[in-house]
Amino acid sequence: MTTFQELADDLRVVTHVNVTEVSDVDMLAIAKLATRHLVGLGVLIDQNDATITLAANDWQYAVPTGYIYVQFLEYEDSIDAGVFPEQIPNSHWQFRATSGGVQIDFYKHMFDLRHAQSPGNKVRWKGQGRPAVPSALSGTVSVEVEAATQQAMEHLILGRVSQGRSELAFDRSQQRREVNAVLLELDLVLPDTRVRPGSRRVHGR
């Protein structure tokens, strides 16, 4: 995967700006603004790799971080570890909001009867989430939104430099107007932002 640092370095080359004009601190702020803009547009990315490990007589588990929608769950084969041959019917589980966050509750009798739950077996999640706002340039750019992120960052860089200043810490009201104007001009190459058929929304996310 491409990191925001790699994207920033490439954009300095194609926009003919140097690190003095647009520092790494500036680039991180630009990357955050670009990503938040995509989130605001409702862009969703696939989340397909999270798993939970089942414990004996435990039917409640925290929903993995990053999931906004869950399309389906897959049950690990009891013999072939890492193989997930079967979907768990949506009728066998539900979301429940708790003081500690959203949990998934499996209906014990239905789930146990169908899958003969055993400790150590895993359940894999398939769904969608939002692009993650980077906390550092070392963070990775989701493949689905790399092109759109690059576009947004490039426009923000050029918009900053064309005004004869690269710093982001100038008058805040003016900054908001200029940043919004730059982003509204974009005709972004966006991924498919539709919710996958049959997905359930995770409460409060």
pLDDT in tens, 166-185: 444 444 444 445 555 556 66
Is a pLDDT exceeding 80 seen at residue 27?
A: yes
What pLDDT score was predicted for residue 170? 44
Conformation bin of residue 42: beta by default, left when phi > 0, alpha when psi is -120 to 50 = left
The sign of the dihedral angle between the CA atoms of 156, 158, 162, 166 is positive
Is a pLDDT exceeding 60 seen at residue 66?
A: yes
**Helix 4-15 and helix 146-162, axial crossing angle in degrees, nearest 10:** 50
Cβ atoms 40, 165 nearer than 8 A: no
What pLDDT score was predicted for residue 25? 94
pTM score of the predicted model: 0.79
Cβ atoms 50, 124 nearer than 8 A: yes
| Mean pLDDT (whole number) for 147-165 | 78
Distance CA 109, CA 89 (A): 13
| Max Cα-Cα span within the chain | 68
Residue 165, amino acid: R
| Mean pLDDT (whole number) for 190-199 | 86
pLDDT tens track for 29-62: 999 999 998 998 899 999 988 899 988 888 999 9
Is a pLDDT exceeding 50 seen at residue 142?
A: yes
What pLDDT score was predicted for residue 185? 60
- Check residues 35 and 163 and name the one with the higher pLDDT: 35
Contact residues for 145 (Cβ-Cβ < 8 A; gap 6+): 35, 38, 43, 45, 131, 190, 191
Is a pLDDT exceeding 60 seen at residue 163?
A: no
What pLDDT score was predicted for residue 73? 94
Distance CA 105, CA 131 (A): 26
What pLDDT score was predicted for residue 45? 94
- Check residues 194 and 32 and name the one with the higher pLDDT: 32
Of the pLDDT bands very low, low, confident and very high (cuts 50, 70, 90), residue 112 is confident
Is a pLDDT exceeding 70 seen at residue 144?
A: yes
